Amino acid sequence: MKKVLLIILALSIALSCAVGFAACNRNKDDESVITIRNLYFNDWNGEDDYTAMLEEMFDTKFKVSSYSWADWSTQVSSSWQSNSLPNVFQDDIDSYNFANTYLAYVEDGSVKALPDDLSPWPNVKKLVESVADIKHFKVDGKLYGIPVAKNINGNVAEFTPFTYVYRRDWAKELKEQGKLNIEVDDDYTWTEFTALLKAFYDNKCQSGNVYALADVEWGFPSIINFYKDAPHCFTYNSTKTEVVSNYATDNYVNGLKQAKAWVENGYYGYDQFRSNDGDANKVYYGGRIGVFYENLSLTNYTTLRKNIQETSTRRLSKEELDDKTAIMKVSGPDGKYALEGQEDWFSMTFFSSKISDEKMEKILSIMDYLLSEEGTLFGLYGVEGHDYEKVEITADSIQGDDEYSDYNYVWKDGVGIKLLSWTKSEGTNQYVNPYNGARYLRYMCTLGYDIIDKDPLTDTSAYPILKDWEDFMLAQQEAGNLRILKEPAEVKWLSTPTKADRAGGVLEAANKSVQDYLYNSGYTLDQYKNEVSKGTWETMLGEINRALGLK
Amino acid sequence: MNRKLIIDRNSPLNDFGGRVKKSRYLLLMIIPAIIYYIVFCYVPMYGILIAFKKYLPNSGIIGSPWAGGDGLGNFKYIFESDGFWQVLRNTILIGLGKIIISFVAALLVALLINEIRLRFFKKTVQTIVTFPHFLSWVLVGGLVANIFSQAGIINNTIAALGGERIQFLADDGVFISLIFGSDVWKEAGWSSIIYLATMAGISPELYEAADIDGATRLQKIKNITLPAIKPTAILLLILSVGGILSAGFDQIFNMYNTQVYDVADILDTYIYRTTFRERVNAGIGASVGLFKSVVSFILVIFVDRIAKLSGERGII
Amino acid sequence: MRKFENISYMPLRPKGSTFDKRVGTMDWVIFAILFLYALIIIYPFYNALLISISPERIYLNTPFLLYPKEITMDNYATVFSSTMLWSGVKITLILLFLGTAYQLFFTVITGYALSRNKWVGKNFVMNMILVTMFFGGGLIPYFFLIKNLGLYNTLWVMIIPGAIDTYNMLLMRNYFASLPPDLEESAKIDGANDIQIFFKVYLPMSLPMLATIGLFFAVGNWNSWYNGMLFVETQSLKPLQLVLREMITTSASSVETLGQKATYSEGLTMASVFFSIVPMMCFYPFLQKFFVKGLVVGAIKG
């Protein structure tokens, strides 16, 4: 029996080695087809008249599929590791694995470097240059991917709209009843904010099922934003002149103490754990949260409003809906507004190293076209004369009340867009998506925030509210009154072996320590500080500081 | 004593052709299986090499450099990292816990069902409790998340009774109970079938004799039922030890989240997570996988010996 | 009719039993425990059903939804009109019939061959198979294999690699080994070869066992998603469970994309979950005995 086993093992190794060589993947790339796998579309598979027009224009064929939302990471990773990447693919980045993954792609030669000179593709060049941190991604002077920016026109601040949405109707109601003595105008000082929470807590939360303040489930209390110096793990301490653990700084601890105080007095009613994606959202839809911290991107905000409408017993008027989903502007104890900072981009479009230079140039030309004015019009509205026409507009007609009389969108000064073939769905009064491939392929370059106000698919009732908030925050930024939490790019994109392997782990561990401190009375502050600054932290910080030449 | 020099009628080499001819039809039937196992199991087996490599996808498995120069770099890395030992500990705790808990639960269910005399009720209960076995963990995970989430019915009940909401899906200890609990919910009914079948084989005369002696129900269980199913129970228990390192990828994968990695991450999810989510070099995952294979294999051989020693049929 | 003073002394005399079997307190306790146990099993299904037929606002505003306060079929209407789900059903049905027949054929002939005594290389083949239960090359070379065989992003990738399920094959082998061997001997005397014996003698005898294994395969195929996730790109080739998985994990998560990501309400998700369970629920009570039989043969006699 043992003999047989040995023979088998010997045989299997011989066999597998022999066949292993034969089985090595040596797929030839098909020059005439561009295979693309994107992160940003679901039900579009690359077959429509508009895509066919693009294909004809560039004398190519697209083979498109998207990663599935639930398993995209596995799918990107398995196609990379099995050496069968599509020609063009996207990978999400975050500062905790990206430097690692990006460098791994580059190191093993799986991705193709962009040409040194991007000037034949001015729009792509502009896109790459619009991303401030891009220099940190150059390896030996070469760049290996195109950042998928949200916006390339620079009219959106460098942050994702993480902010508070709240029940203005409750505030108004309590104000009327004389139970709240602040002005209900969405712009609150820290004192007013606290008063609002107290009023909500005293009058709305007594059933035990309603919460004054809640965060979406990311595990770090949002109110610490008004105290802390950096978004996540690391921050630069100017007195010590070195990078230290953000979680152990005095500012962070002060914020944490405030959060704990509010957990204890009941304001922070809803637990921060990521128990189930979207759990807190559902509680908000159910009318059981007063102030809710969320990532209010246009999609999320639109979804939130849609769900509030759907979960309500009757059709809400626009005013009522706005009251239930008002966006709040809060300034912290130091009088500054705070934003969880993030880059203008979080994904990159990569090219497989298997493709030829010619093919890459063709793809770049397609991207360049889609970013150009002509391509953007094509992706947004379709074919001129069939789907839309340009109309002349004057300054008067722009300012006039009757905004949509002659044209639907302002393209630029003097030029309006009048939609022709577009239809609206009866129920929602929103334009129906005509599945224009150019629209989706454009996501290879930008997520479309640059054209959001011109996009017929944008929810016209939600967008102005977000826009108003955004303008307000930009104004505060200019006035020096905004606390944007950003990690220095040198630290954020720094790749050292320890950071690459461990940073995600310490983030999770810190998350847990924060939770323990907030909810567990037996857990002391010293214990907390130890856990977020000793052990692995010391090794990592040591290496980071050495790499940056600080120690 | 050089047997090879003696012409031995029983030697396997003797009349090989004749024996092949004799069993040619069976060989014909087994050929698809041989092809299948070679193509789908043995050909990819060269992938074990990844465990000894710093795997660079573009260079291929053969072309990638040896890990740490001598090929043992990945093993050094995992044996020195805290993460691996914690995951191994989790795996053993969850694996062992599941074996014991589901053993007890299945036995209990079987004993209870066996005590019912109303045929209709017995059949109905059995149908209901065995059904969840056939659901995928994708679905069970969804059902569990719905019921035990913060705004789920269980927490709403607790809150209404004046208690504190419990983070079932995020609290270490509670989550582990949920793992065991959902496993019992899904599998206990199904596992009880074997014991029920064994119990059905017990001669009714034994019980009748006990009745005459005036034995109570518990006495009957203790003195007749349990001894009768003991061999089956022991065999199943021994055999399940071989699979201890496979603590249930499907279940954990569909139920866990970052908050409970500390206690719920098992070898299989660790391999999956590091390789595909965190993009740690695939060599690390492969070396953990090889470690698991080798240990499991040894365990099974060992357990098989024990089973054979205790007079039962082995598995190999 | 006799009136019972105390119901726990109600005599119950099963046919053929001369013994006095009374329903005692213990019986009621057991009854109660099992009743509760069955309720715990049923409740999650009931809860899913309840959520799926309640309007979202009722579900979200009612902490204890124990009975339907208001019934809406909207979620089911959406489910039934969802092309994504129906294409999932279509693929899964193909897997169910084609895949099950294919797996059954190869698994059963292998099991039979391995159950026969004394043929050249039997031990070798047996060990070769057992080793694969523990050692594998992992996903990466498997991915190469799938690509090179041309199975990637085809329906076949969810069928062909599953030809033989080692565990069920061993079950089958144990079953064949447990059948009386003299049948084979007498057939041999009549001049039948092994293949004829298998088809004419053993196969007809093992139909119930075939049904069992076939059902196991069918359930496995109904529940399969993993190969689909890894090797299928095209949405219309994804099996039902994968579609469901995407719905469950996507439901209302806070992810930033531009309006292209569909979100599913809890009610819709539960409606789809229920939709995928119902066929099994309908068939299971009638097929239960086959499943049980397979398990018992495999575990005890094996």
**What residue spans define the domains of chain B?**
73-309
Q: Are the beta carbons of C34 and B139 separated by less than 8 Å?
A: no
Q: Give the pLDDT mean for A467-487.
A: 85
E strand or H helix at A65: strand A61-66
Chain A residues in contact with B46 (beta carbon < 8 A):
16-17, 19-20, 23
Pairing of strands A211-215, A146-149: unpaired
- E strands along chain C, which residues? none
Count of other CB atoms within 10 angstroms of residue B75: 20
Distance from chain centroid for Cα A29: 33
The residues in A 80-119 lying below 8 A from B, measured between CB atoms, are: 80-83, 97, 100-101, 104, 107-110
| Mean pLDDT over the full length of chain B | 83
Tell me the pLDDT band of B315, cut-offs 50, 70 and 90.
low
Instruction: List the chains bordering chain A where 3 or more Cβ pairs fall under 8 Å.
Output: B, C
Task: Compute, in degrees rounded to 10, the torsion defined by CA atoms B237, B239, B243, B247.
Answer: -20
Q: Give the pLDDT mean for C205-234.
A: 87
Q: Are the beta carbons of B44 and C119 separated by less than 8 Å?
A: no
Q: Which residues contact B49 (CB under 8 A, 6 or more apart)?
A: A20, B61, B62
Q: Give the pLDDT mean for A145-170.
A: 77
pLDDT of A4: 64
Q: Give the pLDDT mean for B142-162.
A: 82
- Most C CBs within 10 A among B134, B144, B239, hence the mutation to make, goes to B134
Please check the confidence at residue A111 and state whether its pLDDT lies above 50.
Answer: yes
Tell me the pLDDT band of A362, cut-offs 50, 70 and 90.
very high
The DSSP secondary-structure symbol of A437 reads H
Q: Are the beta carbons of B160 and A208 separated by less than 8 Å?
A: yes
Please indicate if any CB of chain B lies within 8 Å of the CB of C94: no
Please indicate if any CB of chain A lies within 8 Å of the CB of C235: yes
Chain C residues in contact with B282 (beta carbon < 8 A):
140
Please indicate if any CB of chain A lies within 8 Å of the CB of C255: yes
The Cα–Cα gap between A550 and A353 comes to 36
Please check the confidence at residue A447 and state whether its pLDDT lies above 80.
Answer: no
Please indicate if any CB of chain B lies within 8 Å of the CB of A399: no
Q: Are the beta carbons of B151 and A109 separated by less than 8 Å?
A: no
Strands of the sheet containing A326-330, edge to edge, are: A187-188, A326-330, A162-166, A289-295, A211-215
Q: Which of C252, C245, C263, C272 is nearest to C52 (CA)?
A: C272
ipTM over 0.90: no
Measure CB to CB from residue A97 to each of B151, B167, B278 and give the nearest one. Answer: B278
Please indicate if any CB of chain A lies within 8 Å of the CB of C254: yes
pLDDT of C299: 53
Q: Which of A22, B298, A18, B16 is nearest to A10 (CA)?
A: A18
Tell me the pLDDT band of B134, cut-offs 50, 70 and 90.
confident
Tell me the pLDDT band of A276, cut-offs 50, 70 and 90.
low
CB A472, CB A424: distance < 8 Å: no
| Mean pLDDT over the full length of chain C | 79
Structure-token pair, residue C135: 């050692």
The residues in A 378-407 lying below 8 A from C, measured between CB atoms, are: none
Instruction: List the chains bordering chain C where 3 or more Cβ pairs fall under 8 Å.
Output: A, B
pLDDT per position as a tens digit, C267-278: 888 888 888 888
**Closest-CA residue of chain A to B165:** A271
Q: Are the beta carbons of A310 and C57 separated by less than 8 Å?
A: yes
Chain A residues in contact with C128 (beta carbon < 8 A):
8, 12
pLDDT of A528: 93
Q: Give the pLDDT mean for A10-30.
A: 62
Please check the confidence at residue C22 and state whether its pLDDT lies above 60.
Answer: yes
Tell me the pLDDT band of C255, cut-offs 50, 70 and 90.
very low
Size of interface A-C (CB pairs under 8 A): 146
Chain B residues in contact with A270 (beta carbon < 8 A):
150
Tell me the pLDDT band of B59, cut-offs 50, 70 and 90.
confident
Q: Are the beta carbons of A8 and C127 separated by less than 8 Å?
A: yes
Helix C25-53 / helix C266-296 crossing angle, nearest 10 deg: 140
CA distance A303 to chain C (A): 8
Q: Which of B153, B157, B149, B158 is nearest to B178 (CA)?
A: B149
Exposed/middle/buried for A467, CB within 10 Å: 0-12, 13-18, 19+?
A: middle
- E strands along B55-127, which residues? none
Please indicate if any CB of chain B lies within 8 Å of the CB of A4: no
Q: Give the pLDDT mean for A23-28.
A: 58
Q: Which of C149, C129, C145, C147 is nearest to C137 (CA)?
A: C145
Q: Give the pLDDT mean for C132-156.
A: 85
Q: Give the pLDDT mean for A155-168.
A: 75
Ordered by where they begin, the domains of chain A are 27-156+346-377 (3.40.190.10), 162-340+485-492 (3.40.190.10)
Measure CB to CB from residue A504 to each of B257, B278, B282 and give the nearest one. Answer: B278
Please indicate if any CB of chain B lies within 8 Å of the CB of A17: yes
Alpha-carbon separation of residue A71 from A11, A113, A311, A516 (angstroms): 37, 27, 29, 30
CB A321, CB A309: distance < 8 Å: yes
Chain B residues in contact with C225 (beta carbon < 8 A):
136, 138
pLDDT of C56: 75
Q: Are the beta carbons of C120 and B109 separated by less than 8 Å?
A: no
Q: Which of B42, C157, C133, C163 is nearest to A10 (CA)?
A: B42
Chain B residues in contact with C220 (beta carbon < 8 A):
none
pLDDT of A265: 87
Chain B residues in contact with A102 (beta carbon < 8 A):
none
The Cα–Cα gap between A116 and A125 comes to 11
pLDDT per position as a tens digit, B271-297: 888 888 777 888 888 999 999 989 988
pLDDT per position as a tens digit, A416-438: 888 888 888 877 777 888 888 88
pLDDT of A158: 53
Structure-token pair, residue A124: 């792509």
* Of B280 and A330, more confident: A330
* Of A120 and B167, more confident: A120
Please check the confidence at residue A277 and state whether its pLDDT lies above 60.
Answer: no
| Mean pLDDT over the full length of chain A | 83
The DSSP secondary-structure symbol of A164 reads E
Please indicate if any CB of chain A lies within 8 Å of the CB of C258: yes
Residues facing residue A295 across a β-bridge: A162
pLDDT of A309: 83
pLDDT of B91: 94
Please check the confidence at residue A159 and state whether its pLDDT lies above 70.
Answer: no
Please provide the DSSP assignment of A497-517 as one string.
HHHHHHHHHHHHHHHHHHHHH
pLDDT of A372: 93
Report the percentage of chain A scoring pLDDT > 90: 28
Please check the confidence at residue C141 and state whether its pLDDT lies above 90.
Answer: no
The residues in A 124-163 lying below 8 A from C, measured between CB atoms, are: 160
Structure-token pair, residue A397: 């007609």
Measure CB to CB from residue B257 to each of A107, A274, A504 and give the nearest one. Answer: A274
Chain A residues in contact with B167 (beta carbon < 8 A):
271, 273, 275
Tell me the pLDDT band of C20, cut-offs 50, 70 and 90.
very low
Please check the confidence at residue B156 and state whether its pLDDT lies above 50.
Answer: yes
Measure CB to CB from residue C61 to each of A23, A41, A287 and give the nearest one. Answer: A287
pLDDT of A12: 65
Chain A residues in contact with C253 (beta carbon < 8 A):
277-278
**Closest-CA residue of chain C to B39:** C145
Q: Give the pLDDT mean for B58-69.
A: 85
Please check the confidence at residue B108 and state whether its pLDDT lies above 60.
Answer: yes
Please indicate if any CB of chain C lies within 8 Å of the CB of A286: yes
- Most A CBs within 10 A among B74, B150, B305, hence the mutation to make, goes to B150
Please indicate if any CB of chain B lies within 8 Å of the CB of C246: no
Name the phi and psi angles at A289, rounded to 5: -130, 135
E strand or H helix at A484: strand A482-485
Tell me the pLDDT band of A443, cut-offs 50, 70 and 90.
confident
Report the percentage of chain A scoring pLDDT > 70: 85
* Of A472 and C139, more confident: A472
Highest-confidence segment of A229-233, A357-361, B235-239, B300-304: A357-361
Chain B residues in contact with C36 (beta carbon < 8 A):
none
Return the amino acid letter for B187. E
Ordered by where they begin, the domains of chain C are 82-249+283-301 (1.10.3720.10)
Tell me the pLDDT band of A153, cut-offs 50, 70 and 90.
low
pLDDT of B13: 53
The CATH code for residues B73-309 is 1.10.3720.10
Tell me the pLDDT band of A199, cut-offs 50, 70 and 90.
very high
Please check the confidence at residue A325 and state whether its pLDDT lies above 90.
Answer: yes
Measure CB to CB from residue C125 to each of B30, B141, B142 and give the nearest one. Answer: B30
- Region of poorest pLDDT, from A63-72, B186-195, C104-113: A63-72
**Closest-CA residue of chain A to C135:** A9
Tell me the pLDDT band of C206, cut-offs 50, 70 and 90.
confident
The Cα–Cα gap between B178 and C142 comes to 33
Q: Give the pLDDT mean for A53-79.
A: 86
- Most B CBs within 10 A among A263, A276, A284, A519, hence the mutation to make, goes to A276
Measure CB to CB from residue A41 to each of C246, C252, C260 and give the nearest one. Answer: C260
Residue with tokens 């060599």: B283
